[in-house]
Amino acid sequence: MKPKHILAWIVAVIACLAVISWLFPTQGIVLGDVQLRWPSLQQVLTQDPGPDCTSPALDTLSILSTPSTLSAPSAISTPSASLPNSYRSDRTESAVAYGRDDSSRIVVVEATPHTWIAPLREALGSADTTTIHIVHYGDSQLEGDRMTTNLRRRLQTRYGGSGAGLIPLHQTISSRTIHQMLTMNGKIQSTGEGPKRYLAYGPKKNRRENAIYGVMGQVAMMNDSLCAGSEEMSLRIEPMTNEKYPARYFNRIRVLCDGDIHVSIDHAQVLSSGYYALPDSTTRCTIQLQGRGEVYGIGIESDHGIMVDNIPMRGCAGTIFTGIRSAQLTDYFSATSTRLIILQYGGNVIPYSSDTASVYAYIKRIRAQVRYLQHCAPQAGILFIGPSDMLTTIDGHKTSYPILPVMDHALKKMAQEENIGYWSLLDAMGGIGGMLSWQQRGWAGSDGVHFTRKGADQAGEMLAQYILEQLAAEE
Amino acid sequence: MDFLRHIFTFDSDSPLLFTQLYFWVFFAIVYAVFALIMNAQHPSHNTLHRRNLFLMLVSWFFYYKTSGEFLAILIFLTFSNWAIAFAIRQAQTRAQTTLAKGWMILSVIIDLGFLCYYKYAYFGVDVFNSIFGTHYSIVDQIILPVGISFYTFQVISYTVDVYRRSVAPVANFLDFGFYVAFFPGLVAGPIVRASEFIPQLYKPFHLSRRAAGLAIFWMINGLAKKIILSDYLAVNFIDRVFDNPLLFSGFENLFAIFAYSLQVYADFSGYTDIAIGVAMLMGFYLPRNFDSPYKSANPQEFWRRWHQSLSRWLKSYVYIPLGGNRTLFGRPANRLLASNVNSFATMLIGGLWHGASWNFIIWGGLNGIGMIVAKCWHSLKETLGIETFIQRHRCIRGLDHVLCVLLTFTFVTFTRLFFRSSSNLDPATANSQAWLTARQMMGQIVGAWDSSIIPLFLLQYGNIVLLFFVGMAIHWLPTKFKRWYRLTFASLPWWLMLLTVVLVIFVSYQFITAEMQPFIYFQF
């Protein structure tokens, strides 16, 4: 065969494909559940990657300006900065740097400026003699002590304190800070084993009737009928890495439990019920538990300074707090001098929120949670962290969920009305399209939802910087 | 102007990939000029020179579009090896064997010097710091030139072959430049030895009707493998699990590891298929790089079927110089011992070739151990008479083969846990991140199996599971059947072949769910 014949064949293939591009409907062809797609000639010639800012699938601008649904609060600066000017990643480069270089630039909305940070600021004066807690609740973005690690490290370095904060009795997801090894009746428990647990979040099969879950929203049962014979447990705690960060050292242990459980820690002195003092600062410790009852968590603390508790709840939208007995929350927040509660939720409802009605329903439920926590911890401020940028596939192209700016805006409004702080993770990432940029930098996973370890560090760093700046501003 | 600049300048965000329209337009234009050159009524020596010069220049342009200014390294290595080969031959002609050897060593040092600097500087400094407790660091970020591992090995093979007198030095620099830079296999192989390719430079163009059909088959087969099997599985499932193993149950982690085995095969063999097809359309034959590797019944067979050009290279230039099955550390030794130690060392080097991180070395080491264990097991079976018993009964023989294939596939898959975990990572953090990922995945598989999630998984990821099993089923089709449908396609009338190709492209496009994914082996 001669090359010219092959060339003719190649040209014929290209021509056929061009004809299909010319004839194929731009909106595709729907066959049952399948939508057939083919790029138009214009898309091919201009290398257009897909939907642009001019045609977002949901007209967010019009939704935001519709008073009957979610009216824009007067105190809030125009949300145009966070609206989808582009779905392309290149535009977000400068925005990411903008937030990273100075996170205080990120829009924060408050009715009374700085009220949420005031309790923490006031308590810092006594941080060198007493302990102050910050409780960081969130969804799977926090799993493994991600994001919280940098926040804790920065605050403990600046204001003193050590220890990793609250941990569950059994580590089902490994943490990057603390390694736990639980032994039940002499047998080491893997992450899939361990005592029977009840969870306030996740699948309903894990719920319990009496709503007693503790401050972490989870409870581990000792000598439960489902794990008969588990009378003796031994929990070994040690740091995950050799890195010299404050969280690896501790000299106080707080065991949150109920029932007939005897706790023993070598050389420890009992300070109060469930609260133990170690003779010296250490990085390793073994806690022996014996008896029957419920364990809500173990606090790894120091005798002064700041403690930051990392409490991830996979799949949770943050609407579960009202399902936890208020007495337990109040007791913990009060006993530990909790001065700041951080709530980081919203991401898990984004894929299921297609319109403003669903956003409104979520805001209503989250508002109830905020009020409930304000009731349980009147001495603490609350900071709400909205959802990150998240990607979905529209017409075969990765784009941000069109509802995200609406949710972010609605959460800001709720925060203002409830007198709590709001930190927009969406803005911190560079706004809509930021996730693409984070993916390119290796800061976000390929699912377009979760951060990688690097990304979690980055987000945690920005959050820490923001809180430190707010504290410094007050000082 | 911007349009022209975009076409002719290097943009790291849009390299020339076989899966992009831009590449195929590039190829169509190249082929048009190629056809014009070869259209002479009476092709002469000059016609072939013009063709070779043209293809070398477009190959350099292709490399520039893929790797920018690193083209200078390619040209430098081409020139140094070409010149040193002549020096070697001249020294040999004058019976100066020591000088010839010196030239050969110098050439290898230059080639490996570039490779080591760009690929192993981070790793070397890291190891040095660990041993001596120092804190040296690489000041500037080192970007790995695309394909450097492939063309470095190619030029080393040329110089060593010249030294061994198994190939004559190429007289014309342009011809040699064409051999080194020929664009279909430049960035991810196959690694073509000079003796296999250089004679083709001087042969007139000849392509039979069936060969043309086969070339088209390889191209379209590679595209479908890459887009449908590799990218779709990766984007929609595998990468998600490897990015955050703790978000998935043990079952999902296990499935992701197996799916990655299919992905990496479809990705790499897809690239090779396209390279072979593109080269064949221009009348050049590249060696096959894969022979249904997951049909292997033991790790040795696997390495004979997987990345064959690298395996052959390692055998010729590492395993045999190390002593093969005859000597150990330069001294005569027991055949089995020498063979095992040398093949283990070769596998370690093969692992290191893939990437500068402990995980790749572990991956290579595991494969080496697997080969030794399989060999020992085979010897033991023969000694105990089990092998004779198995061979005597047809049914048991078949069952034994199936079990061996599944076992080998599982073994290879699990070694890939270290391979995948190290891939796509910044060299500075590769080790720690890869260990973390591998540990988390194994932790989930062992400790968080959660069978209750399987029905939900099948519901949510039904298309992924289906695709995986379809892909494996095609892979395990009998070789004869595969040859039959390849030849049937190649013999189709042109119009029917055209319609088939258009249909496959159309279907493949439906599987594109994200931006084009680079080929996995581009990073090596």
Of B244, B494, B515, the CB nearest to A445: B244
- Cβ A227 vs Cβ A195: under 8 Å: yes
What is the reported pLDDT for A61? 34
How far does A407 lie from chain B, in Å, by closest CA? 24
- CATH fold, domain A49-161+305-475, is Rossmann fold (3.40.50)
Report the predicted TM-score, pTM, of the whole model to 2 decimal places. Answer: 0.74
pLDDT in tens, B287-335: 989 999 999 999 999 999 999 999 999 999 999 998 888 887 777 778 8
Q: What residues are paired with A290 via a beta bridge?
A: A232, A262
Judge: A2–B35 Cβ closer than 8 Å, yes or no. yes
Ranges of H-type helices in A141-243: 148-159
Q: State the Cα–Cα distance between residues A309 and A314, nearest whole angstrom.
A: 16
User: What is the sign of the dihedral through the CA atoms of A461, A462, A467 and A472?
Assistant: positive
Of B247, B281, B509, the CB nearest to A140: B247
Higher model confidence: residue A52 or residue B409?
B409
| Domain extent listing, chain A | 3-46, 49-161+305-475, 162-303
Question: Would you give the distance in Å from CA B313 to the centre of its chain?
Answer: 12
Distances in whole angstroms, Cα of residue A364 to Cα of each of A21, A185, A321, A368, B95: 47, 46, 14, 7, 91
Name residues whose C-beta falls within 8 Å of residue A249's C-beta, 6 or more positions apart in sequence.
A162, A163, A281, A282, A283, A302
- CA closest to B283 among chain A residues: A3
Of A3, A37, A442, the CB nearest to B205: A3
Sort residue B51 into left (φ over 0), alpha (ψ -120 to 50) or beta. alpha
pLDDT in tens, A221-231: 987 655 555 57
pLDDT in tens, A95-121: 444 344 444 434 444 445 568 888 999
The structure tokens 């030895």 sit at B193
What is the reported pLDDT for B465? 93
| Assigned architecture for domain A162-303 | Sandwich (2.60)
Name residues whose C-beta falls within 8 Å of residue B25's C-beta, 6 or more positions apart in sequence.
none
What is the reported pLDDT for A78? 31
Which residues in chain A are contacts of B423 at CB distance < 8 A? none
Residue type, A342: I
Percent pLDDT > 70 in chain A is 83
Which residues in chain A are contacts of B39 at CB distance < 8 A? 2-4
Which residues in chain B are contacts of A16 at CB distance < 8 A? 498-499, 502
What is the reported pLDDT for B12? 66
Q: How confident is the model at residue A80 (pLDDT cuts 50, 70, 90)?
A: very low
| Domain extent listing, chain B | 2-205, 208-290+448-524, 297-423
Going by C-alpha positions, the residue among A306, A226, A300, A220 that lies closest to residue A261 is: A220
Longest dimension (CA), chain A: 92
- Kindly report whether the peptide bond that precedes residue B190 is cis, defined as omega within 30 degrees of 0: yes
pLDDT in tens, B485-505: 999 999 999 999 999 999 999
Please compute, for residue B392, the number of CA atoms within 13 A of its CA located in the half-sphere on the CB side: 6
Q: State the Cα–Cα distance between residues B175 and B280, nearest whole angstrom.
A: 18
pLDDT in tens, A402-445: 999 999 999 999 998 898 999 999 988 888 888 988 988 888 88
pLDDT < 50: residue spans in chain B: none
What is the reported pLDDT for A439? 87
What is the reported pLDDT for B185? 87
- Cβ B259 vs Cβ B468: under 8 Å: yes
